[in-house]
Amino acid sequence: MPQMRTPAWHPDSLADRLPFLRRRARLTAETRAFLTGRGYMEVETPCLVPVPGMEVHLHAFRSEYIPHLGVGERRVLWLRTSPELALKRLLVAGAGPVFELARVWRNGEAGPRHAPEFTMLEWYRPGLGLAGLMDEAEALVRAVCPPRVAHEGVETDLSLPFERVTVAEAFSRWCNGLDILSTVTPAGEGDAAALQAAAARAGLPPRAGEGWEDLFFRLLLERVEPRLGRGCASFLTHWPAPQAALARRDPADPRAALRFELFAAGLELANAFDELTDAAEQRARFHHDVAERHRLHGEGWPVDEDFLAALEHGMPAGSGIALGFDRLAMLASGARRIADVLWLPMDQGAE
């Protein structure tokens, strides 16, 4: 007979999780104090939106607006995958440095490190460059976590300076000298044939049918990420331009984008951009993303025209970051699973 699972509302289940949840509650207060102490204003943006986000590989939960008493039109709405586009519209409006502890949803994501409904901490500051944002993220993690954190046997000493390694340096170091930026065209596109050849020369032969992005992510996941956030925390910076997303390309080398990810105890914690403010370039990227989503998944939503209109009006230069707050709570509390730091986690079945 299958073993019965204790429901999340049961007193026994809550008793097991309560130490982690009490630590999460303190973490929330500490995070708010840290950011407000640095001049950030906490805001709230809509959860139900016409465009949930522009990331190609994320799936959203769909809903429908039904007008009351026939006033207005029925239309499709989505639960947001991130508050990013809304927060940037507030930057355009002149809100200044802002942050949000945002409830977000990603369909199909479930497991020890993923939940379909979770909390994203995002903060944005006009005038702050990527190096300054790394300093601030390092200070936040140190301020709210114990000096040593661990997850699944991987330990990180947060009292040590966080290492900063570019994607190009990481691929050269851990992919047998592979020069990843040599496989990016001057226009910022990935050259699949060039990466396949470079991988073969490095003794990492590509698989049949792998495009540039497929091969890049396989090498990243297999060879690079397992080396990050061990001993000390790691910033993986200056991503290849095909992975720029909403980041500005590096003026010193347009084959790279001003983006970083943060790792501690083997966990990816955050993703950050020196924000792209060029509306024409962002429009071109969005249309590419819409086409890619339909090609890969046969579904999607249109370009976020409201956000592009805001960019055309003029967004101040600056940077912003999205940090998985539940994962930060796991590190702060020593929890093994994301469900341990959720008050009423969804029953995801056997793990």
Strands 48-49 vs 75-79: parallel, antiparallel or unpaired: antiparallel
**Coil, helix or strand for 125?**
strand
C-alpha neighbours within 13 Å on the C-beta side of residue 98: 19
Residues in the chain, overall count: 351
Note down pLDDT in tens along the chain; length 351 residues.
445 567 776 777 789 999 999 999 999 999 999 999 999 999 999 999 999 998 888 899 999 888 876 677 888 999 999 999 999 999 999 999 999 999 999 998 888 999 999 999 999 999 999 999 999 999 999 999 999 999 999 999 999 999 999 999 999 999 999 999 999 999 999 999 999 999 999 999 999 999 999 999 999 999 999 999 999 999 999 999 999 999 999 999 999 999 999 999 999 999 999 999 999 999 999 999 999 888 888 888 889 999 999 999 999 999 999 999 999 999 999 999 999 999 999 864 433
**Domain spans of the chain?**
11-162+232-341
Please name which of 222, 221, 230, 224 lies closest in space to residue 151, comparing C-alpha atoms.
230
Residue 63 CA from chain centroid, whole number: 23
- Assign residue 148 a region: left if phi > 0, alpha if psi is -120 to 50, beta otherwise? beta
Whole-structure pTM value: 0.93
Contact 167, 256 (CB under 8 A): yes
End-to-end CA distance of the chain: 17
Cβ within 8 Å of residue 266, ≥6 positions away? 151, 152, 154, 226, 228, 229, 230
Strands, E assignment, 195-317: 234-240, 249-250, 253-264, 267-274
Strand order in the sheet with 48-49: 48-49, 75-79, 61-65
Tell me the backbone φ, ψ of residue 273, rounded to 5 degrees. Answer: -130, 145
As a CATH number, domain 11-162+232-341 is 3.30.930.10
Instruction: Please report which helix (H) or strand (E) contains residue 105, including its range.
Output: strand 98-105
**Residues 155, 265 contacting (CB under 8 angstroms):** yes
